[in-house]
């Protein structure tokens, strides 16, 4: 019987055999980038898969392996890869000029689409990333309230700027200005507001926490956050960077909550770099160029190619297409859960609609404590075992569906999961008896 480490070593050997050209590129990359990569999230051991091209639901790596794309560039490719209407819009725009130091018509159209779809967003501004979107939403909240402190969820990810990060390089002043509370925990937030409410500018959270594995907010919790912040004149920033794909009105429409500010990114750029933040007119007025109180420039904000691609992607994101991607996500969740049942393994498959998280744990997963990350070796082995079977997903074993997928893609992913668990199960029996039913 192999140990988990031995089982993982076998998975890695299989991976190395199918990806020699990725290995060679990684060896070169090590000479030019620290650890050979430029995004913390895309790296995994022994080296990441280098992609050559994509089309629809499929990617082809540099070794010619075909992968089903359940990563979608971290949930941003709602219409899959190289979606023809987006390709056409981007190509047309590149021919007309890829960047101008001036606004453009698609920027107006995309802003209008967002404001029309999301009632809490009366006015919106564009950025180049979700990181910048949450950074500006926090800046706006601080400027509007005259307070400095931000409350975020423990383990929540809102990008890499200082107000929402911890660890090396983040100055003490920034750490002191951010309070972290556990997710889905009303008492913890109540206590923080009772103790420091008059210093708090905003509470920022996702309606479903992507960073620790697609764990939805409990409905009462999200409504509690809204009421508690309102009562203390604290702004509520809902980070819909990942979750805007779940409904035309975002996940705030599903929950029926009305935040003061919302951050967006990912799908709204049609596959190009993008971000946006928006909300109440009186808050967003801080950015009015006729009377600037918060300055916010950016050489590529509202970039014409991004705006053209994003507008077309959003126009094609009709309620029917969202329902299709969400139904495929439901079907995937159901199938993966059935595999866990058949294999007599404890685990939970979380998420809403097109966003799916796999957690091999007997703990209930309602916050970061229950999530998969407790067992990195198992997570790594499962992630790579799925890639070996042609399923690309995030390193934390999160998957997303897209509007261009079909039931056969879902069946393929479910079969791959079954097969991967069969490969790993002998090791799990030895080292993870708590996972056995
Ligand atoms: C909820 C959430 N907020 C913010 C970000 C940061 O967005 P970006 O990677 O575009 O900077 C992400 C990225 O994954 C995210 O998931």
Is the pLDDT at 76 greater than 90? The verdict is yes
CATH 3.90.1150.10 is held by the domain 4-78+319-435: yes
Instruction: Give 53-120 as a DSSP string.
Output: EEEBTEEEETTS-EEEESSHHHHT-TT-BS-HHHHHHHHHHHHH-S--SS--HHHHHHHHHHHHH-TT
Residue nearest to atom 16 of ligand 1 (CA): 242
Q: What pLDDT score does 374 carry?
A: 60
Residue nearest to atom 2 of ligand 1 (CA): 158
Q: What pLDDT score does 266 carry?
A: 98
Q: List all residues whose CB is within 6 A of at least one atom of ligand 1.
A: 74, 129-131, 134, 157-159, 206, 210, 239, 241-242, 265, 275
Q: Given pLDDT bands bounded at 50, 70 and 90, which one contains residue 315?
A: very high
Domain ranges, ordered by start, for the chain: 4-78+319-435, 84-316
Among 265, 298, 400, which residue has the most ligand 1 atoms within 8 Å of its CB, making it the best to mutate?
A: 265
Is the pLDDT at 371 greater than 80? The verdict is no
2 within 8 A of 376, measured Cβ to Cβ: no
Annotated active-site residue 266? The verdict is yes
Is the pLDDT at 372 greater than 70? The verdict is no
Tens digit of each residue's pLDDT (9 = 90 or more) over 346-370: 999 999 999 999 999 988 888 877 7
Tens digit of each residue's pLDDT (9 = 90 or more) over 322-333: 999 999 999 999
Catalytic residue among 26, 157, 221, 287: 157
Tens digit of each residue's pLDDT (9 = 90 or more) over 212-226: 899 999 999 999 999
Mean pLDDT of 378-394: 96
Residue nearest to atom 3 of ligand 1 (CA): 158
Mean pLDDT of 41-64: 97
Tens digit of each residue's pLDDT (9 = 90 or more) over 394-433: 988 899 999 999 999 999 999 999 999 999 999 999 999 9
CA 381 to chain centre: 22
Catalytic residue among 61, 69, 106, 239: 239
Among 158, 205, 357, which residue has the most ligand 1 atoms within 8 Å of its CB, making it the best to mutate?
A: 158
Q: Which helix (H) or strand (E) holds 356?
A: strand 355-359
Closest ligand 1 atom to residue 74 Cα is 14
Q: Given pLDDT bands bounded at 50, 70 and 90, which one contains residue 79?
A: very high
Closest ligand 1 atom to residue 240 Cα is 1
Is the pLDDT at 229 greater than 90? The verdict is yes
Q: What pLDDT score does 396 carry?
A: 83
Distance CA 157, CA 179 (A): 14
Mean pLDDT of 3-32: 97
pTM above 0.75, yes or no: yes
Q: What pLDDT score does 376 carry?
A: 86
Distance CA 332, CA 354 (A): 9
Distance CA 111, CA 93 (A): 18
Is the pLDDT at 313 greater than 60? The verdict is yes
Is the pLDDT at 373 greater than 90? The verdict is no
Distance CA 132, CA 340 (A): 39
Mean pLDDT of 110-118: 98
Q: What is the mean pLDDT of the chain?
A: 96
312 within 8 A of 305, measured Cβ to Cβ: no
Is the pLDDT at 172 greater than 70? The verdict is yes
Q: What percent of the chain has pLDDT over 70?
A: 99
Closest ligand 1 atom to residue 41 Cα is 14
Distance CA 395, CA 52 (A): 20
Distance CA 166, CA 169 (A): 8
Tens digit of each residue's pLDDT (9 = 90 or more) over 252-310: 999 999 999 999 999 999 999 999 999 999 999 999 999 999 999 999 999 999 999 99
Q: 84-316 — its CATH code?
A: 3.40.640.10
Annotated active-site residue 74? The verdict is no
């Amino acid at each position: 019987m192999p140990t988990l480490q031995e089982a993982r070593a076998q998975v890695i050997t299989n991976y190395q055999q199918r990806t020699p050209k990725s290995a060679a590129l990684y060896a070169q990359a090590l000479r030019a980038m620290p650890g050979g990569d430029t995004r913390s999230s895309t790296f995994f051991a022994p080296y990441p898969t280098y992609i050559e091209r994509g089309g629809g639901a499929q990617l082809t790596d540099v070794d010619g392996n075909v992968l089903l794309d359940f990563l979608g560039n971290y949930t941003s490719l709602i219409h899959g890869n190289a979606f023809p209407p987006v390709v056409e819009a981007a190509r047309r725009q590149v021919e007309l000029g890829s960047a101008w130091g001036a606004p453009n018509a698609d920027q107006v159209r995309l802003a209008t689409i967002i404001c029309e779809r999301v009632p809490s967003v009366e006015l919106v501004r564009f950025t180049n990333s979700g990181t910048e979107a949450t950074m500006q939403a926090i800046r706006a909240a601080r400027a509007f309230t005259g307070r400095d402190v931000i409350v975020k969820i423990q383990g929540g990810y809102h990008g890499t700027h200082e107000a929402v990060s911890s660890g090396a390089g983040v100055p003490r002043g920034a750490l002191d200005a951010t309070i972290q509370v556990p997710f889905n925990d009303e008492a913890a937030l109540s206590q923080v507001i009772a103790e420091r409410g008059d210093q708090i500018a905003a509470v920022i959270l996702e309606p479903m926490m992507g960073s620790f594995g697609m764990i939805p907010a409990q409905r009462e919790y999200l409504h509690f956050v809204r009421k508690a912040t309102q009562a203390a004149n604290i702004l509520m920033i809902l980070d819909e960077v990942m979750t805007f794909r779940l409904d035309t009105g975002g996940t705030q429409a599903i929950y029926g909550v009305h935040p003061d500010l919302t951050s967006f990114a990912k799908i709204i750029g049609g596959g190009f770099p993008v971000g946006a933040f928006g909300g109440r007119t009186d808050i967003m007025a801080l950015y009015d160029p006729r009377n600037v109180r918060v300055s916010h420039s950016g050489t590529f904000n509202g970039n014409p190619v991004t705006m053209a691609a994003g507008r077309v992607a959003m126009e094609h994101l009709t309620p029917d297409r969202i329902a299709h991607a969400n139904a495929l996500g439901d079907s995937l969740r159901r199938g993966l859960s059935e595999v866990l049942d058949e294999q007599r393994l404890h685990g939970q498959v979380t998420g809403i609609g097109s966003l799916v998280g796999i957690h091999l744990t007997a703990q209930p997963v309602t916050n970061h404590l229950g999530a998969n990350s407790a067992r990195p070796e198992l997570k790594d082995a499962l992630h790579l075992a799925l890639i070996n079977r042609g399923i690309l997903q995030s390193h934390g074993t999160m998957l997303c569906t897209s509007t261009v997928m079909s039931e056969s893609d879902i069946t393929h992913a479910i079969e791959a999961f079954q097969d991967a668990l069969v490969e790993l199960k002998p090791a799990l029996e030895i080292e993870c008896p708590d996972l056995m039913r």
